[in-house]
Amino acid sequence: MTQTSGTVTWLTQEAYDQLKEELDHLSGPARIEIAKKIEAAREEGDLKENAGYHAAKEEQGKQEARIRQLEQLLRHARVGEAPPDDGVVEPGMVVTVAFDGDEDDTMTFLMASREYVTADIETYSPQSPLGSGVLGKKAGEEAEYELPNGRTARVKILDAKPYKG
């Protein structure tokens, strides 16, 4: 779970450990692996028409950008506790909403920063239109948010529970 406030990013210990593990892998074994790929492709000869070399260099660039992003994030991270189980929508909560009050048209998502996207559950940041609309609301309350087309949508918060990972 993350919550960004200015340049500080709040993380649970679990989220911090997970991001630190990713950083350690990318800046250690993964860096060595990509360097080997580049060297092997370089040995194939003419670099201008060497697709393997260019692909490896592009992969290296993306990896280095992710390393810088993780370093920045962790440098400014503050580790804290998971949110309380009080039904209030905040970062670290799994939220279920009903669109336009229709309890058959529901969606469940994790309210968290994009750095904490997981394959287990869809993630919305507190800065997203839906995230900012429901932030601070309680189960049973309604919220409005603006869609990208300028229209307003309404949801009813059905549930908000701490994310258990």
Q: Residues 26, 63, 51, CA angle at the centre, nearest 5°? A: 125
CA distances, 94 to each of 19, 64, 85, 117 (Å): 20, 32, 11, 13
Residues 110 and 52 in one domain: no
Q: How many domains does the chain have?
A: 2
Residues 75 and 122 in one domain: no
Secondary structure element (H or E) that encloses residue 27, with its range: helix 13-27
Residue at 88 is within a domain? no
The pLDDT of residue 114 is 64
The pLDDT of residue 139 is 92
User: What does the alpha-carbon distance between residue 75 and residue 5 come to, in Å, rounded to a whole number?
Assistant: 14
CATH number for the domain that contains residue 145: 3.10.50.30
Residue at 57 is within a domain? yes
Q: What is the pLDDT of residues 104-123, one digit of tens each?
A: 889 999 887 766 666 577 88
Q: Which residues span the domain enclosing 134?
A: 93-162
Residue at 87 is within a domain? no
51: CB partners within 8 A, 6+ apart: none
Domain end point (choices 80, 113, 133) = 80
Q: Considering the entire predicted model, what is its pTM?
A: 0.57
Residues 27 and 49 in one domain: yes
- Regions in the chain scoring below 50 on pLDDT: 1-7
Q: Token pair for residue 91?
A: 């970062």
The pLDDT of residue 101 is 62
Backbone torsions φ then ψ of 88, nearest 5 degrees: -90, 135
The pLDDT of residue 135 is 92
Q: What is the pLDDT of residues 53-73, one digit of tens each?
A: 889 999 999 999 999 988 988
Secondary structure element (H or E) that encloses residue 63, with its range: helix 51-75
The pLDDT of residue 165 is 62
Residue at 44 is within a domain? yes
